Copies of this chain bind each other. A is one copy, B any other.
């Protein structure tokens, strides 16, 4: 396949998907040698067209998104309908993110309240998922965060989560 065609298929795929596509998706039908470099090149080329659309790298893949400078105008028409996470959900998500894999009981202990509702809500929103069972009596389910979680919080991977030290520094700097 020539590069022009490959490039077009790359852009078209990102458009049709609407969600991030991993490199391995393209490996299935593009020449795999040096593929990542080519994809990065295509992405850069696309972004230079300055169409209001951008290809960004996210959670190990590529995603076609709108330029963030246009969000203000677009949000009234295309803003996510679901609310921002409430405090309970955010707390639960944070515990799962930092402690994963973690059981519901462990979450409950940290929060001091029952979290079954919020865990279910996070499962529904595809921010967390079940990843097996813990090898203790009762074999409770273990929860981990999803790819969408990374996307939602604008991270490439979990190593980008602020450490305790970073958080403290920020707190002191801000206060």
In angstroms, Cα B65 to Cα A8, docked, is 12
Asked, given contacts A49-B49, A49-B51, A73-B29, whether A78 binds B16 with beta carbons under 8 Å apart, the answer is yes
In angstroms, Cα B46 to Cα A78, docked, is 21
Cβ contact within 8 Å between B49 and A13: no
Cβ contact within 8 Å between B17 and A70: no
Asked, given contacts A7-B52, A67-B8, whether A13 binds B74 with beta carbons under 8 Å apart, the answer is yes
> Which of A5, A49, A70: most chain B CB closer than 10 A?
A70
Is A66 positioned at the interface, with any CB of B under 8 Å from its CB? yes
Residues of A that sit less than 8 Å from B by CB: 5, 7-13, 15-17, 25, 29, 46, 49-53, 64, 66-67, 70, 73-74, 77-78
**Chain A contact residues: helix, strand, loop or mixed:** helix
Cβ contact within 8 Å between B78 and A13: yes
Minimum C-beta distance from A161 to chain B (A): 29
Cβ contact within 8 Å between A16 and B74: yes
**Residues on the B chain within 8 Å of A50, using CB:** 8
